[in-house]
Amino acid sequence: MSEPESSPMNIDYVSNLARIELSESEKKKFRSQLGDVLKYFEKLQEVNVEGVDPTAHAFPCFNVWDQDQVKEPFRVDQALQNAPQSRNDQIVVPKVVEE
């Protein structure tokens, strides 16, 4: 399957959302693959789901909770030992909000 000519996929937009860089050959390859995925979603919309309750999971999920136990809390140095970067006893993360 290849994508329909009437609605070309903006692969540059999609790759930017995914934060990946693609070569021209990869763009050509993935454009048709993503088009196939979208066609499959169109096919799924044809399925009659009347009377089917919506669910978040295919199978029932149950939470299993351990008993709360009072323990000695982590020291700051223990909590930050695996952090890639830290400053002022806090984990430094990349900015994700664009202005």
**Alpha carbons within 13 A on the beta-carbon side of 46:** 5
Given a contact cutoff of 8 angstroms between Cβ atoms, the answer to whether 35 and 9 are in contact is yes
Domain that holds residue 17: 11-44
Q: How far is CA 55 from the centre of its chain?
A: 19
31 belongs to a structural domain = yes
21 belongs to a structural domain = yes
pLDDT tens profile 13-58: 888 998 999 999 998 888 888 888 888 888 889 999 899 888 888 8
Place of tokens 């809390």: 73
pLDDT tens profile 45-93: 999 989 988 888 888 888 888 888 999 999 999 999 999 999 999 999 9
Domain count of the fold of the chain: 1
Given a contact cutoff of 8 angstroms between Cβ atoms, the answer to whether 30 and 10 are in contact is no
66 belongs to a structural domain = no
d(CA 71, CA 78): 14
Q: Tell me: pLDDT of 10 over 70.
A: yes
Backbone angles phi, psi at 87, to 5 degrees: -155, 135
33 belongs to a structural domain = yes
What is the reported pTM? Answer: 0.36
